[in-house]
A and B are shown apart, each in its own frame.
Chain A
Amino acid sequence: MTGIFVATEDVLSEAIADRLIKEENQSMYVAVRLGRKGNTYLKKELRSFTKIARSVPVLLFTDLDRIECPSILINDWRGRVIFPEMMLFRVVVRKIEAWLLADRQGFAQFSGVPFNRIPQHPESLSDPKESLLNLVRHYGKKAVKVDILPERGSTAKIGLAYNQALCGFVQGAWSLDRAAQAANSLDRARRRLHELRLTLADKK
């Protein structure tokens, strides 16, 4: 069995990482979960993560947000540090919500938003989180609205149960296969994880 470190910005990204590792399945499991404290924490601890990745695989997800392209972000974060082979530094284009929307069928089923209202290319959205919230605001089921949207007049951007509801979706109806077809960054993350497993298996 290969234990793997998962470092993410938030609970939702962690749920996705869990799914990825679970689907890769064969002899991989999450050994330690790190992060959940936003991207500043990930950036600050990057050196420690690279150190860990010399002996144990590390899967790190960070949102691209408004930065132009992943390579700019990576160069900015990495500086002169060289990532070991087992460091999977994956950039989510542009926010983790894009990967959720990428499974249009699953998201439609979960949220009640009509299938053809969900964008075909979620990675081209400038703010996928905002798009997700707006879709739910306009077309969502009541139960999903209550969880995900803030109450009327609230200063909060999201509902109290935003993470709980969307994590539930990721753990349940969300299909990695369908999502990977519409989100290139997800597909690549999945492929790299797969390759890593094969390399590790070869070494053994």
Chain B
Amino acid sequence: MYITRLKLKNWRNFHEAEVHLTQTSYLIGPNASGKSNLLDVFRFLRDVCKPAGGGLQKAVKDRGGISKLRCLHARHDPEVKIEVFFNERVDDPSTSWRYVLGFKSESKGTHRLLVSCEEVWHANACILKRPDPDDKKDDRLLTETHLEQARASSEFREIVDYFSIITYLHLVPQLLKYGDKIGGNRLEDDPFGQGFLERVAGCPVKIRDARLKKINKVLSAAVPQFKELRFIKDEVNGKPHLEALYEHHRPHAGWQREDQFSDGTLRLLSILWSLLDGNSLLLIEEPELSLHQAVVEELPVLIDRIQRTGKQRRQIIISSHSEDLLSNKGIDARSVVVLEPSHEGTISRSVDDAERTGLNAGLSVAEVVLPQTRPKRIEQLGQMRLL
């Protein structure tokens, strides 16, 4: 199953938006245009589905409450609404499932957060439509979605399963390297990769070894002098570690632990691991960070290769600013989602006709589309005299 379309109303900086997604989608836009906010929709739906400690109330609360979540441009209509369209295959035009969730806070009393609408459609049949008569009788039922309740969601379990295993990745190397010194605070689901090593440790030995072998190959091509990667557990405290061997002028320099790895090595490692880990929708935030241009250029191919090795090609959404990543002329224009800030919230669009003409002439997305995401008055940044 693939998410092919997403409609948003009043979600963070999107007043109204419609996004078309493909097998691999590239989100591009200037800073603060809402790339991460768009990815957050999927994390939000996952949080609602969570069997332990999930649910709508928690997911909204974790994001600072509805007032923080709702778009500032929502003046008359305070409802936040998310509509997700699923297709069985990316190139299959008919929608197999559609899930709609709307919520807002009550206008009176304690301002409870209530579901304003929840719908599930399978093919063209309506499976769920709320508020239903029960909700009208007892409006406390509206504090929960059916998505988060196993019994109520039994008829659309596929959707719940899809949402609940969505993976988000934005490994911050410093958090992993200096985890012990910074202190152990960790967000749920570990979006920033502090628990990356535990995740590797939790993987069955055979699978782990197979994955590390593949990662080893990539790293030896991408990281000069890199020779070998291995996983070990500390003999004293049992903590998991990754170690690497480099070809040195000093042959007995020994194995280096992950806290000695370069930021780029760690980022590439974690990207590769998550690409190999699972079949769910994968959200990757700026994979180009800390990586050399030449490595970034190879990422689209690398991702595609790994996608093809799975039984079912998984769906991936990548947010990026990188010219090198988008310079590959094999990138399908339909897989690019452009975010443009405007006075009425961020607008999401596909590659337009003019840009397509440029792509047809043989230019790359990096040459034609990416420059359009430049902030309109960026030159002023350099003209300022601040001191």
Residues on A facing B (Cβ under 8 Å): 38, 146, 150-164
Contacts and interface: CB of A to CB of B under 8 A. Distances in A.
Interface string B313-350: 00000000000000011111110000000000000000
A155 B330 contact: no
A154 B334 contact: yes
B28 to A, nearest CB: 16
Nearest to B330: A160
Interface in B349-383: 351, 356, 359-360, 362-363, 367
B332 A152 contact: no
Among A146, A151, A162, the most chain B Cβ lie within 10 Å of the Cβ of: A151
A189 to B, nearest CB: 23
Nearest to A149: B330
Given A38-B367, A153-B91, A162-B329, 7 more contacts: A150-B330, A150-B332, A155-B332, A157-B362, A160-B300, A161-B304, A161-B330
A197 B332 CA distance: 44
Contact of B333 (A152, A155, A162): A155
Among B301, B351, B356, B367, the most chain A Cβ lie within 10 Å of the Cβ of: B301
Q: On chain B, which size bracket covers the interface?
A: 20 to 34
Contacts of B181: none
Contacts of A150: 330, 332
B252 interface: no
B308 interface: yes
A117 to B, nearest CB: 24
A146 B308 contact: yes
Interface of A is mostly: loop
Contacts of B91: 152-153
User: Can you list the 9 inter-chain pairs with the closest CB atoms, starting with the nearest?
Assistant: A160-B330, A154-B332, A155-B333, A161-B301, A159-B330, A160-B304, A156-B330, A158-B330, A156-B332
B359 A160 contact: no
B89 to A, nearest CB: 11
Contacts of B363: 38
B301 A158 contact: no
A200 to B, nearest CB: 30
A38 B362 CA distance: 10
Among B298, B304, B360, B363, the most chain A Cβ lie within 10 Å of the Cβ of: B304
Contacts of A146: 308
Given A146-B308, A161-B301, A164-B301, A155 B328 contact: no
A172 B362 CA distance: 27
Contacts of A161: 301, 304-305, 330
A157 B329 contact: yes
Contacts of A154: 332, 334
B330 A162 contact: yes
Nearest to B305: A161
A152 to B, nearest CB: 7
22 contacts: A146-B308, A150-B332, A153-B91, A153-B334, A154-B334, A155-B332, A155-B334, A155-B359, A156-B329, A156-B330, A156-B359, A157-B329, A158-B329, A158-B330, A159-B330, A160-B300, A160-B304, A160-B328, A160-B331, A161-B330, A163-B328, A164-B298
B356 A155 contact: yes
A159 B362 CA distance: 13
Contacts of A164: 298, 301
Contacts of B334: 153-155
Among A146, A156, A157, A161, the most chain B Cβ lie within 10 Å of the Cβ of: A156
A35 B174 CA distance: 35
A146 B224 CA distance: 29
B332 A151 contact: yes
B24 to A, nearest CB: 9
